Amino acid sequence: MPGYTGVVALDGPSGTGKSTVARRLAQRLGARYLDTGAMYRAATVAVLDAGAALDDSRGIAAAVSRAKITITTEPDDVRVEVDGVAVDDRIRSQPVTAAVSAVSAVSAVRAQLVAAQRELIGAGGIVVEGRDIGTVVCPSARPKVYLTADAIERARRRADQVGDADVRGVAADLERRDGFDSSRATSPLAVAADALELDTTNLSVDDVVERLYQLATVREV
């Protein structure tokens, strides 16, 4: 659907299929794509490289404010850089995964990145995925969809993605991160009041993309 002008907001925890279906939906719509989680992971790279302690909110905020974080919005060519250096592989590493919740909980970091995300969204024509898109970043987005999935299925998907055979360990890590993200003071992980909840446990990627496409294009008519 070339010329798509809306904003699709996809929220939800890890392992629900957000990144995969968001990119495929953007490709099908002929829209841009923004992975806001990758931006927080890039910020975490900057914090780790700066040597800031994860319990030092001022140090974290200072490290992120000094960093130049850039991300492309082309679904066929997603690239993330920190100070001109590609970090696409690093942002998915275990050290970054372990630290990203602490970094993303700092209000000054969220304020900086939300402003950048809104600038990238601009007038629309984009599929945006994250954890606070429908509630904070772009409350006017239509449609807003909150993806969910069974905890074990989420862990299995995440384990396959990162090449970790310890599904129970991954499940425990996801539970820890969900608790952290849902209880933070600024922009907690939450379902927008007007969001549609979609359980992806027993759905294929194609099934989810088709449902989202129908929602997006109905809103465009």
CA–CA distances in Å: residue 161 to residues 25, 39, 96, 182: 20, 19, 15, 23
Sole residue written with tokens 């907001």:
9
The reported pTM is 0.89
pLDDT-derived band at 153, boundaries 50, 70, 90? confident
- The burial of 37, by beta-carbon neighbours within 10 Å (0-12 exposed, 13-18 middle, 19 or more buried), is given as middle
Among residues of the chain, what percentage have pLDDT more than 90? 74
Q: Which domains does the chain have, with CATH numbers?
A: 7-215 (3.40.50.300)
Q: Which of 37, 41, 208, 38 is nearest to 133 (CA)?
A: 37
Mean pLDDT, rounded, for 109-123: 97
Closest CA to 150 of 53, 43, 7, 15: 15
Q: Band of the pLDDT at 173, cuts 50, 70, 90?
A: confident
Q: Give residue 221's pLDDT.
A: 39
